[in-house]
Chains A and B, each alone.
Chain A
Amino acid sequence: MDQLVFALLNGTIYGLLLFMVSAGLTLIFGMMGVLNFAHASFYMLGAYFAYTLEPLTGFWAAILLSPLLVTGIGVLVEKFILRRVHAFGHAHELLVTFGLSVVIAELIKMGYGNFPVDYRVPPELRFAAFSISGIDYPFYRLFMGAIALVMFAAIYLLLTRTRVGIVVRSAIYRPQMVEALGHNVPLVFMGVFGVGAGLAGLAGAVAGAFYTTNPNMALELGVVVFVVVVVGGLGSMGGAMLASLLIGITNSLAVGSNLRPADLFALVGQRDWAEQIGGLMTVQLSSLAATLPFLIMLIVLVVRPSGLMGEKE
């Protein structure tokens, strides 16, 4: 029972982290129709900036300043690169962000070396929040989860309850009309892209200390974040939250189980047959954990292509 509680809690927190990274991505997609391949790179930049700033400013200032820097970079990328490519179509925008992700990864390697850097959770935050039957639960995990929840609430309120939110949302549907009403749509786009990048940067600054900060961290998280956004429904903030939790919890439960596909056949009395087939049938679910997100994405795309909470194709 305790195990289950832990698995659920772990899964939820991991899901919330995924949400932190994918929130910006889904915001940018919903807004501009750009699937930003460089998004996970902003996550990585956030972690490295925070690592660089920490000795100068301390941990708290670092995780606040680093997202701001990443926002700045996001704004520059939008203004000088994406805007130029916009006229050539979505495929080009997507590809140019892909090129950027390569460039960012290589620059990070050049500046910080190939190995992980020693960016760690500060000692004052390194304590157990509570413990169940001998297992401590680190406070920092709860802290990350709380930041994600605050982020979700803030974005939600900003989009639905403020004037800025109204302009942003309407610019998604009718950019010309919004422009005709006297709003600066390019500025709105730039702002959204910057904020989206900044959110990823914040996630990186916070999570980089808990996990590891290394030049491959964008690569490792990049694809999963895509999966989250697609499963949730491109552009849907609530969907991204739902999908993040779904993937986080499935992952956590799968790791904890010894189930094999062959065991499913036991339900219809065919376990021996399935075991004879071997191959995938006898692989433990726990070793397939990283595969599950793709399976989920495939099923969702085929059954409900607009995603869990997406509106239209």
Chain B
Amino acid sequence: MKAKIFLVAIAVAVLVALPWLVSTPLLNAAVQMLIAALFAMAFSFLCGRAGMLSFGHAAYFGIGAFAAVHAMNAFGGAGLLPTPLLPLVGAGTGLLGGLIAGYFATKRTGVYFAMITLALAELLHALAPHLKGTFGGEAGISSFRMPAWGFTFGSVTEVYFLTLAWVLLCIGLLWLLGLTPLGRLALGLRENGHRLRFLGYNVHALSTLVFAVSAMFAGVAGALQSLNIEAANYVVLEAHVSTSVVLNSFIGGVRVFLGPAIGGAAMTFFGYITADLTRVWLLYQGIIFVLVMMFLPRGLVGELVERFSGGERRSGGTALLDGGWRLAGFAMAAAGCVFLVEFLQRFLSTGYRATATGENWPPIELMGFDWSPGSPLTWLLPAALLAAGLWLLGAANKRAAAQQEALA
């Protein structure tokens, strides 16, 4: 427990010191990461804790975003709603939207629940362009962060601190919520809803409430995004916003408390870094997601927590060695895979196809070297890397399994 508090304290200290540690573009990315983290946490309160998989959380994120922009324009950042308190509007509208949508959606469970949330979000997304007054049409609604409380909110640093404060507050609240009866009952919903009903609880009201709380925090995340980019556009209601929060949360691990936040932040950062490096970063994202789902079903953080909390019975040394081998194998396989994908992508691009005519296949530059498509080396090298990496992974896994068995 003490170790955990210590870790969290260090993490918060690093987050607070961040503006002095990194450059402005990275700080920008950090704001996005914080918002994605909060959104994933809000989603996971519903999905991880209460076991309800929603495919339409973009709706509540969007509702919060638009409400905040309208409030920003209406109050001008002064009076009752100074700029730093704007996320409250997002929370309020998110809660309201969540109550209404949740009332219908939580009448059903499982796949049906997921489909209702999807339908609601798609309906909102399809109607939004028709309501130009509310959603601003294609160009969206623009706004301006007004100075308040002695801050101008003109610099990224100030926006970062505002976002950080809200995100930490909300994550803290979510943690506290987990300790209240509502939080415990939400767990019960996930494990066995029928039994809760027999115990005399109103399951529908309970699920609606959990849904609404989740939507409320999603609304805060939406409002923070509006504050950050000073605008809202109906594309925030698009299906890919809903699905990316699902992906992020599951990659992090929905059932460990900070898993979704770390997943959200990590994937946003991944997108930020790779989007400018490669044109096919979505492909890498998809591959990573599929691999995580197949081999680390508890998510990255969930799997780590599992390792460190007693699942491992071998001595630290051999486990570390194994981890090292696995990492090496994984790195080799990944390098081979990335090489292959990047080479193929360049090889198949229209630009290259236009220059390659007949027998003339000019070499392709990749990672500082020229590679000829005709030479076997070009294809053998990544294939060998991939094969060797996979073999190493397999061997390490086998060894670990054998050792576990020997100890058992």
Direct touch of chains A and B (CB < 8 A):
yes
A166 contacts the other chain (Cβ, under 8 Å)?
A: no
Interface residues of B (CB under 8 A from A): 53, 104, 107-112, 114-116, 118-120, 122-123, 126-127, 130-131, 133-134, 239, 243, 246-247, 250, 280, 282-283, 285-287, 289-290, 293-294, 297, 341, 344-345, 348, 350
Listed residue (A90, A92, A103) with the most chain B CB atoms within 10 angstroms of its CB: A103
A313 and B247: CB pair below 8 A? no
Q: Name which residue of chain A comes closest to B122, CB basis.
A: A294
Given A95-B250, A103-B290, check contact A297 B108 (CB 8 Å): no
Question: How many interface residues does A have (CB within 8 Å)?
Answer: 42
B122 and A279: CB pair below 8 A? no
Residues on B with C-beta less than 8 A from A110 are 280, 283, 341, 344-345, 348
A259 contacts the other chain (Cβ, under 8 Å)?
A: no
B290 and A35: CB pair below 8 A? no
Residues on B with C-beta less than 8 A from A223 are 118, 122, 239
A117 contacts the other chain (Cβ, under 8 Å)?
A: no
A-B contact count (CB 8 A): 114
Tell me how far the C-beta of B296 lies from the nearest C-beta in chain A, rounded to whole angstroms: 10
Q: Name which residue of chain B comes closest to A222, CB basis.
A: B239
Given A279-B131, A297-B115, A298-B119, check contact A102 B289 (CB 8 Å): yes
Q: Name which residue of chain A comes closest to B134, CB basis.
A: A279
Residues on B with C-beta less than 8 A from A313 are 108-110, 112
Residues on B with C-beta less than 8 A from A106 are 280, 282-283, 286
Tell me the bound Cα distance from A290 to B123 in angstroms.
10
Q: Name which residue of chain B comes closest to A81, CB basis.
A: B294
A99 contacts the other chain (Cβ, under 8 Å)?
A: yes
A291 and B123: CB pair below 8 A? yes
- Per-residue interface assignment for chain A, residues 63 to 105, with 1 indicating a CB less than 8 Å from any chain B CB and 0 otherwise: 0000000000000000001001100101110111011101100
Given A280-B127, A302-B104, check contact A92 B350 (CB 8 Å): no
A295 contacts the other chain (Cβ, under 8 Å)?
A: yes
The stretch from A195-203, A226-234, A246-254 touching chain B is A226-234
A85 and B104: CB pair below 8 A? no
Beyond A294-B119, A305-B112, list 15 extra A-B contacts (CB 8 Å).
A81-B294, A85-B297, A90-B111, A95-B293, A99-B289, A99-B293, A103-B290, A110-B348, A223-B118, A279-B130, A280-B130, A288-B126, A288-B130, A291-B127, A313-B108
A256 contacts the other chain (Cβ, under 8 Å)?
A: no
Residues on B with C-beta less than 8 A from A280 are 127, 130-131
| Residue in A107, A288, A302 whose CB lies within 8 Å of B283 | A107
Listed residue (B111, B120, B123) with the most chain A CB atoms within 10 angstroms of its CB: B111
A91 and B53: CB pair below 8 A? yes
Tell me the bound Cα distance from A85 to B294 in angstroms.
6
Residues on A with C-beta less than 8 A from B297 are 85, 88, 92
Interface residues of A (CB under 8 A from B): 35, 81, 84-85, 88, 90-92, 94-96, 98-100, 102-103, 106-107, 109-111, 113, 223, 226-227, 230, 234, 279-280, 283, 287-288, 290-291, 294-295, 297-298, 301-302, 305, 313
Tell me the bound Cα distance from A223 to B55 in angstroms.
12
Tell me how far the C-beta of B184 lies from the nearest C-beta in chain A, rounded to whole angstroms: 22
B293 and A103: CB pair below 8 A? no
Q: Name which residue of chain B comes closest to A229, CB basis.
A: B115
Residues on A with C-beta less than 8 A from B127 are 280, 288, 291
A84 and B294: CB pair below 8 A? yes
Residues on A with C-beta less than 8 A from B107 are 302, 305
Tell me how far the C-beta of B137 lies from the nearest C-beta in chain A, rounded to whole angstroms: 13
Tell me the bound Cα distance from A298 to B123 in angstroms.
9
Tell me the bound Cα distance from A103 to B292 in angstroms.
14
Tell me how far the C-beta of A84 lies from the nearest C-beta in chain B, rounded to whole angstroms: 5
Q: Name which residue of chain A comes closest to B51, CB basis.
A: A91
Tell me how far the C-beta of B182 lies from the nearest C-beta in chain A, rounded to whole angstroms: 23
A102 and B286: CB pair below 8 A? yes
Given A102-B282, A103-B287, check contact A287 B294 (CB 8 Å): no
Residues on A with C-beta less than 8 A from B104 are 298, 302
Q: Name which residue of chain B comes closest to A98, CB basis.
A: B243
B290 and A298: CB pair below 8 A? no
Q: Can you report 30 A-B residue pairs in the complex whose CB atoms are below 8 A from each other?
A: A84-B294, A85-B294, A92-B250, A92-B293, A95-B246, A95-B247, A95-B250, A95-B293, A96-B293, A99-B293, A102-B283, A102-B285, A103-B286, A111-B348, A113-B348, A223-B118, A288-B126, A291-B126, A297-B119, A298-B116, A298-B120, A301-B112, A301-B115, A301-B116, A301-B119, A302-B104, A302-B116, A305-B108, A313-B109, A313-B112
Tell me how far the C-beta of A246 lies from the nearest C-beta in chain B, rounded to whole angstroms: 15
Tell me how far the C-beta of A108 lies from the nearest C-beta in chain B, rounded to whole angstroms: 10
Tell me the bound Cα distance from A297 to B280 in angstroms.
34
Tell me how far the C-beta of B196 lies from the nearest C-beta in chain A, rounded to whole angstroms: 18
Listed residue (B246, B282, B293, B344) with the most chain A CB atoms within 10 angstroms of its CB: B293
Residues on A with C-beta less than 8 A from B283 are 102-103, 106-107, 110
Tell me how far the C-beta of B362 lies from the nearest C-beta in chain A, rounded to whole angstroms: 19
Q: Name which residue of chain A comes closest to B289, CB basis.
A: A99
